[in-house]
Each structure stands twice: as C-alpha cells, then as structure tokens.
Structure 1
C-alpha cells in the first residue's frame, strides 16, 4: 500500500507539473550556466587564429562572466520574487540569445569581446538556476529532489551535445556561424517552450491533488543572521572551485597523464553523461534521505578520485571512474543548493537567498579554470590544484553535516 501511495503522489505532482520541469530543463540547458564552459574550448583556437589573441585571453571570458554573475545574481533573485520567475526567464532568454548572436560580429577588439560577454552574463542571469528552480520548488513538495534533478539535467544534455554541435557549425560556417547557431538555441527552442509551459498549472479534472504550495520562510535579513547561511556560503567556494576547475582543463589533465588523444576524446564525454545520472539519482536520493548526508557523500567522492589524476601516468579505467565521479558530483551540486535553500530557508524569499548564495558558488567555479591553467603553466602539471581540490572537497563536504534537521515553515496566505 505504501508503494502504491508513493506512486500516486509522484503521478499527482508530475501530472500537473511536468511542463514546468520540461521548460526548466530546456531553459537551464540553453542558458548562461553551461554555454561558455562547454563551448569556449572549441571556439578559442578559431578566435586566436583570426585575431591573434592568446588562448588565455579567450578563456578570460569565464572570469568576466563570473564577475557579472556576482553582480547580477542577487538582483535576479529579487526580480524573480517581485515580478515572477516566468517574466524574468522570458526577458532573460531574449537578451541572452541576442547577446550570443552579436558575438558573430566580433571585430578583433578583445575589450569589445569582453564587454559583449559582460552584457550576455548580465542580461542572461535570468537563465541561471535561480529562476528556473523557483517554480519547480513551488510546485513540487514530495518529489522536489527528483523534479530539480530533471530540471537541472539540461546542462548535462547540453554538455553531451555541445562539442559535436559546435564542431559541425565551425566546419560548415566558421566560428561566426557557430555563434549564430548557439545564439538561436535559446530564442528558437527555449523561449517558446518557456512561454507556453513555464507557469504554475491549473489542476485538470482527474489529476491527483498536488501538495499545498508553501509560501513561508525567512526574509533575507533573517537568513544572513543565521549561521547556516554562512556555513553554506563558505563551503560553496572551495567545493565549486574544486569541481569547476577540473572540467574545463580535463583534456589537459588527461594529456599530462600520458593518455592518447583518442583515449581522451572517448573519456571526456563521460562528464556530461555522469552529470545527467548524478542529477537523477541525486534528486531521487534527496527526496528520501537527509540532504546534507547525501551532499557530504556525493560531493566528497571526486576528492578521492583526484588522487588518481596527478600521480604520473594515468590508467584509462581509473581515469574513466574519476571522470564519472566528478561529473556525478557536478550533477547533484546545483540541485543540492536549490533543495537546501528551500528546506532550510523556505520559499518566502527563495530567489533572493538563492541569488546571494549563488555568489560564492560562481566565484569558486568562475576563477577555478584560470587557476588550474596557471598551475600547469608554472609547474607543468596540475598536481597542486588537484591535491588542494581533493582536500577542499573532503573537508567542506563533511562540513555540510553540521546543518542539522530541516526546518518547518508555516503556510502564509496573502
């Protein structure tokens, strides 16, 4: 009977909310979060060849977007709370898509290139998970973790398809055509789906009732006086640094381990695939077990795997396992933050609180790739970055266990 009831609950929430999840999956996958990370590596050599820029200059875009996100994330959260997630997402998809399209007209000025990316990040901040997770968290209560995992799966799907897609665009129309092809994705695919489906649905006849939508929770002022907020803020910087630095540099890490180009090409797609698995399995686990324990276990596993990546020649099987664990942890990271904010701070000011907690996450992930690259330039290996990241993951993931039991917030009606 218990299993039948659980199945009925899942069907009830998803019968009414699957469109929200589908729109969020597409919005996250074709938004600001995954696009520069998964595409710049292929576009950088083309831009460097045409304009004489260094690879480091092109990859500096990641730092530019990080700074812009740091400035815009709290504002995005506040706008989401005031005007609604749907309006913010739709406007941001338009600005983001148009901004990426404009990169096709780059003229060789690195300053203009950076300013364009700054506009893309500021205008596209509403395509970050801050916005998309709002309605998912609102609608889903019993299956919140699974729904968040499905929504955040978009970045993993884009990670799998991005390199073949960009490679095909470059082969057909060059890097300018690649930017056009990338800019059209949010405008042609994500925007119309979000317009139709990214809204709280009205119950349909025959649907099982969804859970009451809680609106209680902390204000931002209350959250910043809570030690849990600062524990998360401090822990997220090294966690996101450790996970975010390895992925853009994975080809270099594997190359320094004496793996062949063919082996590297066959291994790196595991990141996107394992991220998808991590989102689904991690979301399912978050619904059934205490989230800090799940986060502590799954986020610490890549720390153990890093030790296999900097000790000289790398075994291909060990590398595959390590990459899988890194991608799996990346898969649960976003879901975990959204889930934790809802459970410990409530939904009253969810967007604002998530927006501020997104800052340490963005700082860690945004500056990790250049630091990893600098480590290699100076020492010829990634050993220092990987060893520091391993320690950081083990310590900071364990710190999540201090969060304590979930909080309960009273239902608040307008």
Structure 2
C-alpha cells in the first residue's frame, strides 16, 4: 500500500480538507464522549442483571471516563489525535473549528439517549450494546479522514541527524570515552527544558486553581451516572429518564455557545474569571436542590439549568487557565488541568454509589457533590480576593512613599536617581547664600 502523499504548507490552510477533519472530529466526539454519557442508561440494567450494588456498578462508567482523560487506552487513542489534528489544519478559524468539532458531545447525547433506551427495550441490554458497538466502529472511518499534513514549522523543529551516525568506525572508541559526559549533558538539558515548560506548577495561583479543579471534577461527574437511576427511583418512566439526558446534552451545547459569546462582549470580557466561579457555584447549588425534585416536570428545569452552566464553565476553563499562567504556557497548563480530571472521575461515582448503598437515598451523594463544587468556587474566590488585597496594599505603600520613593520588586524602598540629582542641585544653589546653614 502506497504511503500517503504529504503536502508541504507554509501555514495551516484554514479550510479545504480541514473541514473534513472537523467533520471526522465531530463524529469522534459523538462516538466517545456522547457514548460514554449514555452508559448511565445501562446502569439499572447492569445492576439488576449482575445483582451488584451502586458502588460496584459505578466503576464501569468511572474507568471509561478516567482512562479517556488520562490518554492511555481505549477512546483516548481516537479522541486525543482527532482534537490535535484540528489544531494542525486551522489557525485563524481555530475557535470556530473546535466549537463545531466538540459540539458532537452534546448533540450526540441528545440523539443517542432516547435511541439507546429504545434499543434496550427492543433488544435487551446485550443487543443494545452490540448495536452501539457497531456504531462506534465508525471511528475507523474517522481515522481514514485524518490525512497527514506537513507545515513549514515542522521542518524547523525536526531534530538534526545524529552526529554519531556520521562518525567513522575507527573513531567510535574515542567517542565512547565521552559518552558519560554526553549523557550527563543531555539529562541536564532535558531537566532545564522540562523546568522551563512546566514552571507554572510553582505559581501559587495555578496551585490553587488546580486544587479547585479537583473538587469541581469530583462534583460534576456523578450526575451523568446517577441522573437516570435517580429519575427511575422517583417514579419517572424509562423514556422520560432518557429524555432528561437528551435535554442535558442539548442545553449543554447552548451553554457552550451563548456563554462563550456573552463573555466575549466588552462588558464581561474582563470578568471571565468571575463568570467561571458563578457557573461552577450555580451547578453546585443545583445539586443541593436535586433531592427535593421528585417528578419529571421538576427534573426538566434542573436538567436545563445544570446543563447550561456545565457547558458554560467548560467553555471558560481554557480562558481562566490562560489568565492564570499566561498564553505562553497555555498548552502545557491545559494538559495538566485536563489530566487532573482523571482521578476525580475515577473515584467520585463509586463513592456516590457507596453513599447510596449505605444511606438508602441519593441525598447524601448529591449534597456531597454540590458542596464540592461550591467549595471549588469559594476557594478560587478567596484566592482572587487575597490577590486583590495584596495588590492594593502594595499600591498604597507605593503612594505613601511619595513621588521620590520607588518600591522595587524585592520589597525594598530606594531613592530615585532623579531625586538624588535634585538634592545635589539644591545644595549647590544654597551653598553660596550667606547665612544659610544646613
């Protein structure tokens, strides 16, 4: 089979075959993220058939989500390259391309949730999984669309040919004597590059933000596992419970688009950090009211509200990360932020299931998730407040020092050069005045 022909581009084409890449990534997000969310519809079926409690059954969804975010196996082998390929083909229209590509998650959830429930009723959970697996095989088609592209900058970043390979054989013994020194230099260069790339890990603001991400991720994950079982437990029919997941998915897309558009407006552009806190806090507040909502008409507005603000803060995560670490380290910082989602995604559904098994109610599980998200918002709020207080304190010290004093970054106060020159000029002028004494 002939190797695919690579076309050299000076810059990303921002179109052309790139739109096929976007279409492929759109389908990838449906086959991965949307299908993962629909696993919660199988929850009751798995629990009944295998006669397991909530905590044991929840591991199915947790492991899928965790491995996908950790990028080691499974869906991650399709999801991560597809997302990266969109960035290869687009530069000026990158935001639009990513918006279209990632919207497959919400749209897929809206479509698949009632379809999966219908498949379970018609063919049982085994037949439904078989049909769903056949649908997921479309990932092979998506992979066929991922045509390789070579940019001019890729040639600049290619490593030069190893000088050792060009060395004659008779010089290899002398070169081997220097190999320990070369190895030490290589390791030191690697450590320096890693330190430069991940220096933001030592920034206090990023540490606080990363800690808040852990609590936020813990709170947001269990709902996609337990919304359908909770709805069934309060007397909602299977079709209506699946429809709640559909509402959650489509309103999530609305939150992505509208909240992103609103925070781009001039009046809110400087308040994106506050908008992020607001969205996370409101999702936590929705959790606190969920145990009191025990009918389908009451669960519909909950799904709308939670889905909207869930899409809202997901849109603002890259923006807030850029505000904390700057645009230079944004790529590496986002990698760390999304990596931090993995552990809460793994442990939160089983913990919530254990609480349901222990208490016989969903109340404790939902309250813990709600307080976790509210704590995430409060933690960032206090960090923001302390930073503003510290900045205002430094400014007040600078004003109290007077115009001839400057506050240096290390906190020491030094006289300005202009002030010293003014003082010398004053001494020269007054030294010749009779009767003047210093």
Please, what TM-score do these two structures have when normalized by structure 1? Answer: 0.64
Question: Relative to 1, partners in 2 of residues 1:379 and 1:58: Cα closer, same or farther, differing over 3 Å?
Answer: closer
The correspondence for 1:394, drawn from 369, 374, 398, is 374
What RMSD in Å do the two structures reach over aligned CA positions? 4.0
> How much has 1:360 moved relative to structure 2?
2.4
Name the SS for the 2:128 alignment partner. helix
| Mapped partners of 2:135, 2:286: distance in 1 | 35
In structure 2, the residue matched to 1:281 is: 258
Aligned partners of 1:303 and 1:391 also within 8 Å: yes
Give the corresponding residue for 1:22: 23
Decide whether the 8 Å contact of 1:303 with 1:394 is kept in 2. yes
TM-superposed deviation, 1:139? 6.5
Offset, 1:234: 0.9
Residue 134 to residue 201, structure 1, CA distance change in 2 (3 Å):
same
The 1-side partners of 2:208 and 2:347 are apart by 21
* Counterpart in the other structure of 2:35: 35
Alignment partner of 1:62 is 2:64: no
Bigger Cα displacement from structure 2, 140-149 vs 279-288: 140-149
Q: Report if the CA contact (8 A) 2:24-2:146 is conserved.
A: yes
Does structure 1 retain, via aligned residues, the 8 Å contact 2:18–2:89?
Answer: yes
Q: Is the 8 A contact 1:27 1:127 kept in 2?
A: yes
Corresponding residue of 2:274: 293
Rate the CA distance shift 1:13–1:233 in 2: closer, same or farther, 3 A.
same
| Greater relative contact order, per chain length (Cα 8 Å cut-off, separation 6+) | 1
Looking at CA atoms only, which structure, 1 or 2, has the larger radius of gyration?
Answer: 2
Q: State the alpha-carbon separation in 2 of the partners of residues 286 and 22 from structure 1.
A: 27
Query: Once structures 1 and 2 are overlaid, which stretch shifts more, 284-293 or 139-148?
Result: 139-148
Aligned-partner SS, 2:225:
coil
Give unmatched runs, 5+ long, in structure 2: 1-12, 152-193, 389-438
Residue 131 of structure 1 contacts residue 351 of structure 1 at CA under 8 Å; is this kept in 2? no
Aligned with 1:122: secondary structure?
Answer: coil
The answer to whether 1:328 aligns with 2:304 is: no
CA distance in 2, matches of 1:358, 1:276: 19
Q: Secondary structure at the match of 2:289?
A: coil
| 1:237 has 2:214 as partner | yes
1:378 to partner: Cα distance:
1.9
1:132-190 CA distances to partner (integer Å, 9 max, x unpaired)? 444556666777655444332211122122233334544565544433433333432x4
Q: Which residue of structure 1 aligns with residue 396 of structure 2?
A: none
Within 5 Å, which residues of 2 pair with 1:117-156? 122-128=73-79, 131-136=81-86, 147-156=97-106
- CA distance in 2: counterparts of 1:163 and 1:259, whole angstroms: 15
Q: Which sections of structure 1, spanning at least 5 residues, go unmatched?
A: 1-11, 77-120, 203-216, 406-414
Partner of 2:353: 373
Q: Cα 1:259–1:186, aligned 2, differ >3 Å: closer, same or farther?
A: closer
In structure 2, the residue matched to 1:267 is 244
> How many angstroms does 1:320 deviate by?
2.0
Q: Per-residue deviation at 1:235?
A: 1.0
Looking at structure 2, the residues matched to 261 and 171 of structure 1 have their Cα atoms a distance apart, in angstroms, of 9
> 1:241·1:368 contact (CA, 8 Å) conserved in 2?
yes
Stretch deviating more after TM superposition (52-61 or 295-304): 52-61
Rounded to whole Å, the distance in 1 between the matches of 2:371 and 2:51 is 38
